[in-house]
Amino acid sequence: MAETAAKKAKSDRKVALITGITGQDGSYLAELLIEKGYTSSSRPLSLCLVNGFCFVAAVQVHGIIRRSSSFNTGRIAHLFANPVTHEQNKMVLHYGDLTDSTNLVKIVMEVQPTEVYNLGAMSHVKVSFDMAEYTGNVDGLGTLRLLDALRTSGLGDSVRFYQASTSELYGKVQEIPQTEKTPFYPRSPYGVAKLYGYWIVVNYRESYGMHCNNGILFNHESPRRGAFCWPPSRLLPCHLRLVASRRRLHLIMDGRNLPVGETFVTRKITRAVAKIHLGQQESVTLGNLDASRDWGHAKDYVEMMWLMLQQDTPDDFVIATNEEHSVREFVEASFRHIGKEIVWEGEGVNEVGKEKDTGIVRVKISERYYRPAEVERLLGNPEKAKQKLGWTPKISFTELVTEMVEADIKLMRANPLA
Ligand code: NDP
Ligand code: GDP
């Protein structure tokens, strides 16, 4: 009887381990899981030592964070600030890294997760051309290390595993819209590393019967989308030089000039629109305006990650909105929100200029933001997820743009240096 109760308690346990919890998706996912009340129904899960007192904690969500010389928990700080989360010890962070197998085994043994969400990655396509080997190590081999840590720890039969796969696997257009059956043709070191991640997940499912799932997510954004190119503290000093010009910081790497603070195109646009609206900025530079993406909202997409792990059978799913917009359209929608008209200007000009008080904004293009190999079009067909998971995105393109522009206006108004 006692044994059956113990078994049931074990099977009812909901303990999530999230790699990349400090990232955009990790932060939304942690919120979602805490909201869902991840807990052991009857038995507490782990012993914690806090201020010299040993107590049994109902820990629900565990996250792996990297040691950093600067603050990297900004996106989850509000979860700690919430007394309920904090006092009830619902979220616990562990130092770790996807490049460190020993550390992963230790964390997995300690946490005994029932669900693992592998969101940790060097996630920037353009940066992956500069840091190809590192990207392969983290995004490709890191996935293998984590899967193997789970098997080594004897969790292979019980754990459910979510892999953050990506539409970048499709790369060069083979078919539009892209489905789970569309052939892959990655176009960046990031895409190639994620291809390894995708297949090792399938392989562990087929070889060892593990509940391993790939979410092939198309681009998803939010006000929490990454806003920094790469924290300079993580680069070797001999490769970088920081200079201030026109009141902005620039990172000089391998002789090339990368402005710090500009990253994924959506957030780069909404930050610039906010600053132009507030009169804080007069210039920003964009690359290929004709590339198009299927942009969704990160909040919608993390719900699907959770849904995938609640299914009896593991599988791979395309998660997308089935709506395509060019970068140009994203720019237009953003400026429309603040009532500005755009005048487009040709290649080779390095500025987006605002003609003061005319209500007109000039948008210009630089080769600097073009990639060595471009992914021109991504449009996903999420029919399988709709049918099998009952999932549909709730937030529209216009709502996404509006939320991002509004959030950046609020941010820049409060802190012009943000
Ligand atoms: P972010 O870049 O916002 O977050 C990445 C996370 O990974 C951060 O927490 C980062 O830590 C962590 N990380 C980086 N390197 C390592 C490492 N070596 N070991 C452990 N953790 C590490 O990405 P998103 O939240 O946007 O994306 C989540 C996942 O989904 C990623 O794997 C991404 O590639 C994938 N994806 C994202 C899409 C999107 O449109 N957002 C589309 C498809 C897939 P730190 O904060 O310290 O840098
Ligand atoms: P990605 O789809 O993961 O590469 O997401 P990004 O937001 O980085 O880029 C989306 C598309 O926008 C790509 O096709 C880029 O070439 C294009 N793009 C155009 N201008 C820029 C820019 O200034 N910065 C970035 N990051 N992308 C740009």
pLDDT (tens digit, 9 = 90+) per residue, 356-391? 445 677 677 888 899 999 999 999 999 999 999 999
CA of 73 to the centre of ligand 2 (A): 25
Instruction: Write out the two tokens for 162.
Output: 């979510």
Which ligand gives the minimal distance to the CA of 169?
1
Q: Tell me which amino acid residue 330 is.
A: F
Active centre residues (catalytic): 166, 168, 190
Cβ pair 13, 64 in contact under 8 A: no
CA of 125 to the centre of ligand 2 (A): 8
Write the CB contacts of 305 (distance below 8 Å, at least 6 apart in sequence).
Answer: 25, 29, 117, 162, 164, 215
Average pLDDT, the chain: 84
Among 191-195, 314-318, 336-340, name the one with the lowest average pLDDT. 336-340
pLDDT number for residue 43? 37
pLDDT number for residue 255? 47
Domains contained in the chain, CATH given = 2-222+296-323 (3.40.50.720), 238-292+326-375+396-414 (3.90.25.10)
Cβ pair 315, 213 in contact under 8 A: yes
Cβ pair 17, 107 in contact under 8 A: yes
For the cut 70, the answer to whether the pLDDT of residue 208 exceeds it is yes
Instruction: Write out the two tokens for 79.
Output: 């979860």
pLDDT (tens digit, 9 = 90+) per residue, 102-156? 999 999 999 999 999 999 999 999 999 999 999 999 999 999 999 999 999 999 9
pLDDT (tens digit, 9 = 90+) per residue, 143-176? 999 999 999 999 999 999 999 999 999 999 999 9
ipTM: 0.99
Identify the residue with better confidence: 51 or 384: 384
Question: pLDDT confidence of 228, banded at 50, 70, 90?
Answer: low
CA of 236 to the centre of ligand 1 (A): 21
For the cut 70, the answer to whether the pLDDT of residue 245 exceeds it is no
Q: Does the Cβ of 224 fall within 6 Å of ligand 2?
A: no
For the cut 50, the answer to whether the pLDDT of residue 73 exceeds it is yes
DSSP for 42-105, please give it. Answer: SS--EEEEETTEEEEE---EEEEE---SS---GGGHHHHHSHHHHHTT-EEEEE--TT-HHHHH
Q: Provide the pairing of β-strand 360-365 with 354-355.
A: antiparallel
pLDDT number for residue 11? 60
Cα–Cα distance between 194 and 188 in angstroms, integer? Answer: 10
Tell the residue nearest (CA) to atom 20 of ligand 2: 287
pLDDT number for residue 178? 98
Across 123-139, b (16+ Cβ under 10 Å) vs e yields: bbbbbbebbbebbbbbb
DSSP for 212-238, please give it. Answer: EEEEEEPPEE-TTS---S--GGGS-GG
Question: pLDDT confidence of 71, banded at 50, 70, 90?
Answer: confident
Q: By C-alpha distance, which of 58, 62, 63 is closest to 13? A: 58
Q: Does the Cβ of 129 fall within 6 Å of ligand 2?
A: no
Q: Give φ, ψ of 411 to 5 degrees.
A: -65, -50
What global pTM score does this model have?
0.88
Question: pLDDT confidence of 49, banded at 50, 70, 90?
Answer: very low
For the cut 60, the answer to whether the pLDDT of residue 56 exceeds it is no
190 Cα nearest atom in ligand 2: 3
pLDDT number for residue 81? 81
Tell the residue nearest (CA) to atom 13 of ligand 2: 291
Tell the residue nearest (CA) to atom 24 of ligand 2: 265
Instruction: Write out the two tokens for 290.
Output: 């004709």
pLDDT number for residue 87? 67
For the cut 70, the answer to whether the pLDDT of residue 194 exceeds it is yes
Identify any residues that bridge with 256 across adjacent strands, giving them in sequence order.
Answer: 253
pLDDT number for residue 283? 66
